[in-house]
Amino acid sequence: MKCPVCGRVNPPKAKKCDCAYDFDARTGGVPLPLWKRYRTVLLFISPIILALLVWALFALNGKLKWIGDPG
Ligand SMILES: [Zn+2]
For residue range 48-69, list pLDDT tens digits in order.
Answer: 999 999 999 988 887 766 666 6
Centroid of ligand 1 to alpha carbon of 41 (angstroms): 20
pTM: 0.50
**Dihedrals phi, psi of 27, to nearest 5 degrees:** -135, 170
Centroid of ligand 1 to alpha carbon of 66 (angstroms): 55
Instruction: Please give the pLDDT value at position 66.
Output: 61
Rounded CA-CA distance 45/23 in Å is 34
Q: What are the tens digits of pLDDT across the range 10-40? A: 999 999 999 999 999 999 999 888 777 788 8
Centroid of ligand 1 to alpha carbon of 50 (angstroms): 32
Query: Could you tell me where the DSSP H helices lie in the chain?
Result: 34-37, 39-68
- pLDDT category at 2 given cuts 50, 70, 90 is very high
Sign of the alpha-carbon dihedral angle for 34, 36, 39, 40 = negative
